[in-house]
Amino acid sequence: MVDLSTYDPNSVSNPNNNVFGLPTTEDNARLVILPVPWEVTVSYGAGTARAPEAILKASYQVDLFDPEMPDAWKQGFFMRQADRKILMKSDYLRKEAELYIDYISKGEDVNANQFMCKTLKEVNEGGVFLTEWIHEQSRALLEQDKLVAVLGGDHSVPLGYMKAIGEKYGDFGILQIDAHCDLREAYEGFRHSHASILYNALKEIPQLKQLVQVGVRDYSQVEWDYIKNSNYKVVSYFDREIKERQFGGDTWKHLADEIVSKLPDQVYISFDIDGLDRKLCPHTGTPVPGGFELEEVFFLFRTLLASGKKIIGFDLCEVGVSDSDWNANVGARVLFKLCNLLVTSNS
């Protein structure tokens, strides 16, 4: 592991260094971040494929002192360069998906159009390719006993990593921060849609025993029925219900303790940035009114850490990009907190 004992965290970040300005390499870092520039199936706003690059740039402005975990960064974080081939493939398939979405939105019959049938097939094959690629990349790092994180891109990207987590650690649960359930089967015909990530995870990962969703405020009847029929394998804390309980006198501390109690001993965090109030992430792909303040989510994470349950991995997805750096700034600070939590939980 890298020796950062002599590194001055108060110095100006060297842009030739790695994420958060740290002079780390992949070999000597405890935690490796996999950037995934992919947003093929986004159904509203685009731009998240270029978030990893923007977050990396913004990370140089993040102060390394975290009073709750002041020395966590000294274990070393490293972020790989985003794969340009993945980005190019995403850009190409994104255009294909846009044509397809526009076609079906007008009520046209896909089976009557050979080109659209081919387009749907290509997009779905692209989702399979990405899942297998991330599974291979993350599994190789886990086999080296690295801690691993995935930085999207849209929320479809971490499925392959979640599979590798199950293979490495065995039974686990997911704590999902999100405005959406993401429990739709093949949304818009896309089997690896950003709106299907947790449906796919529950279907394809036998080690995934529990899903606890927090902050959901936009969902379908089908997803509601899925939750009700899950025999409590999926527990959803909807944004409206959280606020109603708080209006009635419940504290966020009481709610956070209750949420954490629903999780098993090993926990993976899946953080879609649209779980936050939109003022913190104005250019996320599918914004919804409502949501959390950042410190509310951080308090929940601290409660999880204090419980003694082990955090085994995380993804951060759906950070938007814009002419200003606000989205990336918030994304970088969320990323830093998650990195600190992961290494601290595994110290």
DSSP 8-state symbol, 233: S
Q: Is the pLDDT score of 10 beyond 90?
A: no
From CA 242, how far away is CA 259, in angstroms rounded?
A: 11
251 in a structural domain = yes
Please list, in sequence order, all residues whose beta carbon lies within 8 angstroms of the beta carbon of residue 295, skipping any fewer than 6 positions away. Answer: none
Does the pTM surpass 0.85? The reply is yes
Handedness of CA 22, 28, 31, 34 (dihedral sign): positive
Work out the pLDDT band at 146, boundaries 50, 70, 90. very high
Mean pLDDT of the chain: 95
What pLDDT, in 10s, does the model give residues 226-282?
Answer: 999 999 999 999 999 999 999 999 999 999 999 999 999 999 999 999 999 999 999
From CA 132, how far away is CA 126, in angstroms rounded?
A: 10
42 in a structural domain = yes
Query: Tokens 């104005």 identify what position?
Result: 282
306 in a structural domain = yes
Count CB-CB contacts under 10 A for residue 339. Answer: 28
186 in a structural domain = yes
2 in a structural domain = no
| Nearest-5° Cα angle at 74, 160 to 142 | 25
5 in a structural domain = no
For residue 24, the enclosing domain spans: 19-345
Structure tokens at 60: 């140089």
As a whole number, mean pLDDT of residues 77-92 equals 96
The burial class, CB within 10 Å (0-12 / 13-18 / 19+), for 225 is exposed
What pLDDT, in 10s, does the model give residues 46-68?
Answer: 789 999 999 999 999 999 999 99
For the chain, how many structural domains are there in total? 1
As a whole number, mean pLDDT of residues 189-214 equals 96
13 in a structural domain = no
1 in a structural domain = no
- Residue 323 sits in a domain of what CATH number? 3.40.800.10
Structure tokens at 211: 């899903």
